[in-house]
Structures are given as C-alpha cells and as structure tokens.
Amino acid sequence: MLPERALSIPVALRPFEAADAPRVAALVGERAVAEMTGLIPHPYPESAAEAWIAAQVPDRAAGRRYTYAITPAGDTMVVGAISLRPSPTEREHLGYWIGRSYWGRGYATAAASTVIALAFTLLDLDRLTASRLTKNAASGRVLEKCGLKLLRTEERAHRGMDEAFCVHGLTRDEWLALSDASAMAPQAALAAGNSGQIG
C-alpha cells in the first residue's frame, strides 16, 4: 500500500477530492494536454472528471491503481495528475499529465521520481514501465531523468489512427544503482511511518 500523501519539492502529492473536478476538467480540457496522452478524450466534460475521481477510492483500496493530484509544494491547487498501476493488465504501470500552463517547471519529473521511489520501496515490484507518444519529446525527457530506458517503439491505435509510441522501463536493480537512489530510498521508506510524507 502506498501512502495517501507525499512531499517532494517542488511538488506535493495528495488524493483527489470531488471538489477538484472542475479544475481537472479545465486542465485536461485543453487540446494540447489531452492529445499528448494515450487515454484522455477531447473534449473532456466535467462529468468525466467527477466519475474519474470517484473511481479512485475503490481502486486505491483494492491496490489496483494509486492516483495522486500533483500540486505545487505548499499549495493545494491541482496542476496535474500521476497514476501507478502495480499490476497492469494492459499497457504500462505509470501515467501522468501536467496542465499546459505548468509545463517546464519540473513538476512531472518530481512527481514521477517520487512515485517510482515509493513503488520500488513499498510495493513488490521488480520493474516499472511507462509509455508516451513518440512525438511527445518532453515526456521522454521526464522518463529519462527518472532513469527509465527506451525499451521499444510500436504502433498503437490513438484517436482513430495508428501512432508511434515509445515504451520505457526501469528495473528495481537499475533504480537502486542510480546515483541518487541511496537518498531516494530512505525518504520513500519514511512515508509509511511519517504521516505519508517524504521530502
């Protein structure tokens, strides 16, 4: 089980609340955000955000998916989201998005590196994967900064056409061998007994 909250400057991770639905709909309602993801539809109605948030509580309780709101550290305003599927039945373990106005601030890298540390420290995972549209170079840089290596490229159906996707991966041993893994692991371990916060 992963903690409900985590802190890793410059971001904090927390559960989504029903009141976040309008904010989520506004952020992913931008075509530039939705089109860079594999699953988010466009247009994106507020009712879809409400249903998505409501599904997160049972998913977390069952250990199927851990979804976090990404906020700036010291703030509660949602700027993005990140999800981890410990046992994905299809596709990959890790997915995330950041609102367009908040691109380039390091939020995705901080959130992803935190969730990866928590996953390898607190869950029985030997490897972790993530995919991105090949044209989404920014997401590729995020994954590379987090230590995920390019495993393969493949064609997938995306919004009515076939598009190229890159699949990245990282094993537990590779994560432990990263130069900063020795610092990340103790911080993540603290989350279980320190009010779910790391940082």
Q: Are 85 and 65 in contact (CB under 8 A)?
A: yes
Question: What burial letters (b/e) apply to 119-146, b meaning 16+ CB within 10 Å?
Answer: bbbeeebeebbbbbbeebeebbebbeeb
Go through the chain and tell me how many residues it has. 199
For 41-125, strand residue ranges (E) read: 66-72, 80-84, 94-98
- Rounded to the nearest angstrom, the gap between the alpha carbon of residue 197 and the centroid of all alpha carbons in its chain is 17
What band does 194 get if pLDDT is binned at 50, 70 and 90?
Answer: very low
pLDDT for 125: 93
Q: How far apart are CA 79 and CA 127, in angstroms?
A: 27
Q: How far apart are CA 173 and CA 163, in angstroms?
A: 32
Average pLDDT for the chain: 88
pLDDT for 193: 41
- pLDDT beyond 50 at 198: no
What pTM value is reported for the model? 0.87
State which CATH number among 3.40.630.30, 3.30.450.20, 3.40.50.620, 2.60.40.10 fits the domain covering 6-190. Answer: 3.40.630.30
- pLDDT beyond 90 at 56: yes
For 172-196, what is the mean pLDDT?
Answer: 61
What band does 197 get if pLDDT is binned at 50, 70 and 90?
Answer: very low
pLDDT for 26: 95
Between 186 and 16, the more confident residue is: 16
For 29-36, what is the mean pLDDT?
Answer: 88
